[in-house]
């Protein structure tokens, strides 16, 4: 009996070796089939369920890229991502990071159905985090669906929380900016939010949404807000002008910023001027704001803009403006930053 078992064991061992050889031959001479996105992405989705705040950013970025590519190539991908988001709930940091990754892929997807999926997820109100991230994703889309305006406005009118209202309001302005059809309707809705009873935070949020939209219909309100006693509201008003390219507005913005007593307001104005700046006159506008400021950060912001922008403007003009700032400033850090690589004659105080 002992020999019989040994014989069977030897026979099975030989069969195993033979099978391995045959498998090796087949694998060697069989053409390799490339792994398609529809095979890779489910693995990425499974991995998404296990990432935490401690997961390396590089790995998260890789997963993001895999799922984004998959969404572009596989018609079934959108359904799978949407279903995962429906079942990914919770308010802990780890869950929010997973949701952020998935909502981010939908925000950047070129699939027109991705926007509609976000609208659906927003309306389902799965959790506060889900509403906030779905609204933010819609605001980030370059080609959002028309249905996004109504969905976001619904959340503005009947918000799940103060945070969801704020994000939805900002996203509403962004979506209105990207949609060409019926922009007047979006303007009317935002203007309807104006009320004397609005507190400072509400005014700031409305101004930000108006800035995202970029309609000139908001100018009377923005100009009025720029004279508000609150520096936070004045700063929000000047920042809201960043999507309203107009030489007249740039003049008004720079003069208003230069005259303002708050360096925080000047900093917001500089950010808008950086977006709006287009020609040589803007070099003088920025230099004027920097000279009017007693804050090193404002002056450094302006100097950075002048150094990195205005490629179409004569370099000597930019250097002249930088030299004026360097001679005006009381901060060694600003003078050193300007003088580095510029070979300017900088007077010290």
Asked, for residue 46, whether it belongs to a domain, the answer is yes
With 0-12 / 13-18 / 19 or more C-beta atoms within 10 angstroms meaning exposed / middle / buried, residue 259 is exposed
Residue 134 lies in a domain: yes
Domain contains 172:
yes
Cα gap 209→221, rounded to integer Å: 13
- Please report, in tens digits, the pLDDT of each residue of the chain (349 residues total): 334 433 334 333 433 443 443 343 334 333 433 434 455 678 999 999 999 999 999 999 999 999 999 998 888 899 999 999 998 878 899 999 999 999 999 999 888 899 999 999 999 999 999 999 999 999 999 889 999 999 999 999 999 999 999 999 999 999 999 886 666 789 999 999 998 888 999 999 999 999 899 888 898 999 899 999 999 999 999 888 877 766 677 778 888 888 888 988 988 888 887 776 666 667 777 888 888 888 888 888 888 877 776 665 677 777 888 888 888 888 888 888 888 745 444 443 3
> Is the residue at 144 inside a domain?
yes
Q: Tell me which DSSP letter residue 288 carries.
A: H
SS3 state of residue 114: helix
Q: Which two tokens stand for residue 3?
A: 């020999």
What span, in angstroms and rounded, lies between the C-alpha atoms of 239 and 204?
Answer: 10
Residue 127 placed within a domain: yes
Which candidate, 101, 69, 76, 70, places its Cα nearest to that of 88? 101
**Does residue 25 lie in a domain region?**
no
Confirm if 143 and 180 have CB atoms less than 8 A apart. Answer: no
104: three-class secondary structure by DSSP: helix
Structural domain count, the chain: 1
Token pair for 309: 């922008």
Q: Quote the domain boundaries for residue 140.
A: 41-176
Q: How far apart are CA 147 and CA 182, in angstroms?
A: 13
Tell me whether residue 304 is in a domain: no
> Would you say residue 82 lies in a domain?
yes
Distance between CA atoms of residues 128 and 300, nearest Å: 39
CATH of the domain at 145: 1.25.10
Q: Hey, what are 156's tokens?
A: 């503005």
**Model pTM above 0.75:** no
């Amino acid at each position: 009996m002992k020999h019989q078992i040994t014989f069977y064991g030897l026979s099975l061992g030989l069969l195993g070796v033979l099978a391995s050889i045959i498998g090796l031959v087949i694998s060697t001479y069989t053409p390799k089939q490339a792994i398609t996105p529809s095979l890779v992405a489910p693995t990425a989705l499974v991995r998404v369920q296990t990432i935490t705040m401690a997961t390396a950013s590089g790995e998260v970025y890789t997963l993001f890229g895999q799922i984004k590519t998959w969404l572009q190539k596989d018609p079934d991908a959108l359904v799978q991502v949407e279903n995962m988001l429906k079942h990914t709930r919770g308010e802990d940091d780890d869950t929010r990071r997973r949701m952020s990754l998935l909502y981010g892929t939908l925000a950047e997807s070129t699939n027109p159905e991705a926007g509609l999926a976000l609208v659906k997820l927003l309306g389902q109100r799965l959790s506060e985090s889900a509403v906030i991230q779905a609204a933010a994703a819609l605001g980030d889309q370059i080609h959002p669906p028309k249905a996004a305006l109504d969905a976001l406005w619904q959340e503005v009118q009947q918000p799940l929380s103060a945070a969801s209202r704020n994000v939805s309001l900002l996203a509403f302005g962004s979506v209105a900016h990207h949609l060409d059809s019926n922009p007047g309707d979006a303007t009317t809705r935002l203007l309807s939010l104006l009320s004397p009873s609005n507190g400072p935070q509400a005014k700031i949020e409305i101004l930000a949404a108006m800035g995202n939209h970029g309609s000139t219909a908001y100018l009377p309100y923005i100009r009025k807000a720029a004279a508000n006693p609150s520096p936070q509201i004045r700063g929000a008003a000047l920042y809201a002008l960043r999507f309203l390219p107009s030489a007249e507005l740039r003049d008004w913005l720079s003069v208003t910023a230069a005259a303002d007593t708050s360096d925080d307001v000047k900093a917001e104005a500089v950010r808008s001027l950086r977006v709006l700046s287009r020609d040589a006159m803007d070099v003088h506008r920025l230099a004027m704001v920097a000279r009017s400021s007693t804050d090193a950060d404002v002056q450094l912001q302006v100097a950075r803009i002048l150094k990195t922008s205005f490629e179409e403007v004569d370099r000597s003009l930019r250097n002249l403006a930088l030299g004026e700032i360097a001679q005006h400033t009381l901060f060694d850090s600003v003078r050193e930053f300007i003088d580095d690589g510029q070979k300017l004659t900088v007077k010290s105080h």
